[in-house]
Amino acid sequence: MKLATFTDGAGQRIGLVDGNDIVDLSKADPNLPKDMIGFLNAGDAAVQAASAVSGSSDRLPIGDVTLNAPIPNPGKILAIGLNYADHIKESGMDTPEHQIWFNKQRNSAHDPNGPINKPAVSDFLDYEAELCFVIGKKCKHVPKERAAEVIGGYFIGNDVSVRDWQIRTPTMTMGKSFDTHAPMGPWLVTPDEVGDPHDLDIKCWVNDELRQNSNTKHLIFDCFDQIAHLTQAFTLDVGDVIFTGTPEGVGAAMDPRTFMKVGDKVRMEISKLGEIEQQVVAEEAVTVIG
């Protein structure tokens, strides 16, 4: 099942993706939650109810709506660093003994095809294609062999990185958290449709030049390792989003280093999940208070 968060003239809600259409679940079954976190919290009953109305005529062409991040307001966005061997090699780093985690602030969550800001304060704007998943069940101290039970679905993420800000501090959070710098989507794909999340092709193009081309089988710490590790420390809540790492091919590792500039288009594709695309625009550095 593919579930999208979308917006049109009637506001934001969720729908079931069926080919080139979205079944508007708010009309097909008004008893279903209107937002993705509510849907995930409703569990199997919501999935069954959505399946029952999959053939509904209450549908819209995808081209007539704006696709939003599947989880527009995640409680946490957590991302792991240095998690593909080829990316570690190109970065000139050692393979980590332990998982390396940082936060992307939730304000960075962004539509899958929305424009991404080139910051007014930096020219070192980079892309990172990543497999993402969302927590579907509140969890703590989850053993690896049960980790699959808490995943609500998978989607694509661009871990946009401002490299000079990233390397200023060991936490990396500032350089990973600029507004618009976590595009996600195009929709949430449920685990039953994905199958093995550790055998998915992952690719990234910048201006139609293939930059990243790998497979999630090369993850050092896989999705289930990540859940087991994180939940030893703190609770993962429904709607928390996990970025699982990027393979080689980032702009900072090219010779010469090649960063994104205004007008560039970056497109990412993961098998079974679809594709997302953003264009780089100049940030309007306008003071906002209140």
Is 198's pLDDT higher than 90?
yes
Distance spanning both ends of the chain, measured CA to CA: 40
Asked whether this chain's domains 2-67 and 77-282 adopt the same fold, the reply is: no
Place of tokens 């993961």: 270
In CATH, what class is 2-67? mainly beta
Helix, strand, coil shares, percent, the chain, to 5 = 25, 35, 40
* Domain spans, the chain: 2-67, 77-282
Is 76's pLDDT higher than 90?
yes
**CA 196/CA 217 separation, integer angstroms:** 10
Q: Which residues pair with 219 in a beta bridge?
A: 84
Q: Which uninterrupted H or E stretch holds 176?
A: helix 173-176
Pairing of strands 274-282, 116-118: parallel
Instruction: Please tell me the predicted confidence (pLDDT) of residue 93.
Output: 83
In CATH, what class is 77-282? alpha beta
Please indicate, yes or no, whether the overall pTM of this predicted structure exceeds 0.85. yes
**CA 191/CA 193 separation, integer angstroms:** 5
Is 126's pLDDT higher than 90?
yes
Q: Please give the average per-residue pLDDT across 274-287, as a whole number.
A: 97
Average pLDDT, the chain: 97
Q: Which residue has the higher pLDDT, 228 or 95?
A: 228
Instruction: Please tell me the predicted confidence (pLDDT) of residue 269.
Output: 98
Is 131's pLDDT higher than 90?
yes
Tell me the per-residue pLDDT of 144-179, one tens digit each, with 9 for 90 and over. 999 999 999 999 999 999 999 999 999 999 999 999
Instruction: Please tell me the predicted confidence (pLDDT) of residue 214.
Output: 97
Residues 102, 176: contact at Cβ < 8 Å?
Answer: yes
Q: Please give the average per-residue pLDDT across 237-259, as a whole number.
A: 97
Residue 161: alpha-carbon gap to chain centroid: 14
**CA 8/CA 11 separation, integer angstroms:** 5
Is 91's pLDDT higher than 90?
no
